[in-house]
C-alpha cells in the first residue's frame, strides 16, 4: 500500500496489459485503491420516474433512457460517468448493440480511462418490453 504523509492514496487505475486486446472503448482491468465510496448501481432499464417504459421496441431510445437513469444514480451519490469502474450491459439478442454503444458513448465520452465493460446478448429481460439493462460500479475518492 502506497502512503503519502501517512494518508492512503486514493486512485482508480485503468490497465490494458500487453497480451490483451487494446480497445479505446473499455479498459481490460480497473483497480480501485484508497479511501472513498464504492457505489453499486442496480440494473437500469428504460423506465422513467413515473414508471413509464420509454422507447418500447426501440433500442436507441431505451439506451438513451438507461443512460439518463445511470446519470441520475451517479449524481445522487456525488459521482459522474468518469467515476465508473465497471459496467455490465445486457442487450436482448437481435438488437443493435453498435447503435446502443454510440448512444452510451455520448454520455461516457471517449476518455483515456473508460471503465471495464462486459456486454452480453441475452434471450430476454424481466419485462419483454425491455431491450437493454445496464448495471455498474463506481468509486469516488474521499
Structural domain of 42: 10-141
CATH number at residue 127: 3.30.1330.40
3 within some domain: no
**Average pLDDT, integer, range 55-64:** 98
C-alpha cell at 85: 469502474
Question: Taking Cα atoms as reference points, which of 61, 131, 128 lies closest to residue 91?
Answer: 131
64 within some domain: yes
Query: pLDDT digit string (tens) for 71-88?
Result: 999 999 999 999 999 999
**Average pLDDT, integer, range 12-39:** 87
Q: What is the pTM of this model?
A: 0.84
Number of structural domains, the chain?
A: 1
68 within some domain: yes
1 within some domain: no
5 within some domain: no
Amino acid at each position: 500500500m502506497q502512503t503519502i504523509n501517512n494518508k492512503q492514496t486514493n486512485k482508480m487505475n485503468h490497465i490494458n496489459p500487453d497480451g490483451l486486446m487494446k480497445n479505446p472503448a473499455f479498459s481490460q482491468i480497473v483497480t480501485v485503491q484508497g479511501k472513498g465510496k464504492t457505489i453499486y448501481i442496480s440494473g437500469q432499464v428504460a423506465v422513467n420516474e413515473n414508471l413509464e417504459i420509454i422507447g418500447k421496441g426501440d433500442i436507441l431510445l431505451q439506451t438513451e433512457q438507461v443512460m439518463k437513469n445511470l446519470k441520475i444514480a451517479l449524481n445522487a451519490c456525488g459521482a459522474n460517468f468518469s467515476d465508473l469502474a465497471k459496467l455490465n450491459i445486457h442487450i436482448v439478442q437481435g438488437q443493435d448493440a453498435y447503435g446502443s454503444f454510440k448512444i452510451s458513448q455520448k454520455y461516457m465520452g471517449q476518455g483515456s480511462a473508460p471503465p471495464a465493460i462486459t456486454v452480453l446478448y441475452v434471450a430476454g429481460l424481466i419485462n419483454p418490453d425491455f431491450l437493454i439493462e445496464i448495471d455498474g460500479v463506481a468509486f469516488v475518492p474521499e
